[in-house]
Structures are given as structure tokens and as C-alpha cells.
Amino acid sequence: MPEWAFRCYVPGMTDARRPAKKAPMREVLAEAAFQLFLERGFEQTTVDDIVARAGVGRRSFFRYFPSKEDAVFPDHERCLADMTAFLAEAVDLEPVEAVSDAARLVLRMYSANPVFSVQRYRLTREVPGLRTYELSVVRRYEQTLAGYLRGRYGESDDGALRAEVIAASVVAAHNNGLRTWLRSGGEGDAEAAVDHALGMVRRVWGSGAAGSAATSSADGDVVVMVAAKGAPMWRVVQQIESVIGQD
């Protein structure tokens, strides 16, 4: 697990490395807001209700959150920053592995606080404005991953196209695994669900060069593949992978 994973802020998660003197006003506000959203509904809760519950002035809210929606997702901005920082240093990783690891930062932010994450998931399903907000955030993650991949693949020769398709695939796979876990009420192994989903993308798009070179194969090893001519391409890929041992 990369060091970055721990920097993501999650309501209710204590972080011993955060400076103790910093007033947790932002967290107090986020928690007051979320409790009110659960009690009264998102639309029925005003910013005035939130600041009254938190015991602060109205201006304090807007100092920390541009909108009510932002208070529901107080952790994404920091996670986006962490993702960007992680990718900036991921120069030696195989590109698809790098963006998969970057996506796992989002998962860990959710799985660090299952109760909050599941409650928020249910709230978001009920409030169209929150779903829209979430789509914008997901798009920013996707663009962050795509930007990194463009840097690795280059803008020309379909590099940008490949970057965007892979970024979308990683996000879709990550969210499939995350949703599976959220729908289960936060039971089971969230990381396993996401690893499994990301594995499908890696098998199709990952070069696997770094991994296999490091583990078992010498330069110049070859694989001989025999497949029925009408076989589905993804099955062919699975077969190849089982032969060259990427998993």
C-alpha cells in the first residue's frame, strides 16, 4: 500500500500524523452536515442548520466548503491531490499498474470508514444533485489518470486515445468493485473486490513487461499460442496471459 493512501482525509478517521493543534473545524462542519442530511434529508437541510448544529457562524461553512454538496464529499479534494502526487513519482511503474494503484487510493478512502461510506452511498442514490456532483468528481479522477497515461504513452500515435480508454476502463472497474462492496453494506473485502475488477483491465491493457521480466523470464523467451480462429479476443488474451504468467 503506497504511503499516499494514508493522507486521504476521512471523517471519523483519526490521523496521528496530522498536527494536533490544528482546529478540526472542517471535520466538525462535515460531520454536523452529514448527520443533518441523514436526519432531515439533504434538500431539507440548510447551511444555517449546519452551522447551528456545529456551533459556528455561517461564514465558517463557506470558508471550508463552496457548497452543501462539497460537505458530503469532504475528502475528494485531498484524495485528488494525493493521486496527483502519487502519479508524479510513479515514473518506473508499468503505466496500467500505476493508474490502478492510483485508483486504489480512492478505494482506501472509502474503505477506511465503512459506515460513513455506506450511508453516503445510500444518500447519494436518493439525491440527484449529489449524483451529479459525484459524476464531476469521478471525471476529475479519470482526467488525472488519463493525463498521467498521456505523459507515458505520448500524445501522438494514438497515445492520447489509448490513455483515455484505459483511464475510463480503470475508473469503471474500480467503481464496479467499490459499488459491489458499498451495496453489500460494507461487508466483505473491499480491496479484493476492486483488485479483481482492476485485474480484468490489467490483463487486457497492461504491458506486463516489468513484472514478468523481474520474476521469471529471460530476454528472448517466446510463447507459442494456438487459438481457434473465431475465439473471442478477450479469451485469447486470458489464455496468453496464463501462458506468460502475468497474474
Contacting positions for a second copy (CB under 8 A):
131-132, 135-136, 139, 158, 160-162, 164-165, 167-169, 171-173, 175-176, 197, 200-201, 203-209, 212-213, 217, 219-234, 236-237, 240-241, 244, 246
Measured between alpha carbons, how far is 170 from 100 in angstroms, rounded to an integer? 6
Q: Minimum Å distance from CB 156 to a second copy? A: 13
Q: Minimum Å distance from CB 91 to a second copy? A: 18
Measured between alpha carbons, how far is 210 from 1 in angstroms, rounded to an integer? 19
Q: Closer to a second copy at the Cβ: 111 or 246? A: 246
Longest dimension (CA), the chain: 71
Q: Minimum Å distance from CB 203 to a second copy? A: 7
Measured between alpha carbons, how far is 181 from 226 in angstroms, rounded to an integer? 38
CA dist 118 → 92, 115, 180 (Å): 35, 5, 11
Q: What are phi and psi of 155, to 5 degrees?
A: -80, -25
Q: Closer to a second copy at the Cβ: 20 or 233? A: 233
Backbone Cα Rg of the chain: 21
Q: Closer to a second copy at the Cβ: 23 or 222? A: 222
Measured between alpha carbons, how far is 214 from 224 in angstroms, rounded to an integer? 21
Torsion of CA 114, 78, 206, 191, to 10 degrees: -10
Q: Closer to a second copy at the Cβ: 36 or 171? A: 171
Q: Minimum Å distance from CB 154 to a second copy? A: 14
Q: Closer to a second copy at the Cβ: 40 or 139? A: 139
Q: Closer to a second copy at the Cβ: 39 or 126? A: 126
Q: By the 8 A CB rule, do 58 and 68 touch?
A: no
Cell (9 digits) for 237: 488474451
Q: What is the DSSP letter of 217?
A: P
Q: Minimum Å distance from CB 29 to a second copy? A: 24
Q: Minimum Å distance from CB 158 to a second copy? A: 7
Cell (9 digits) for 37: 442530511
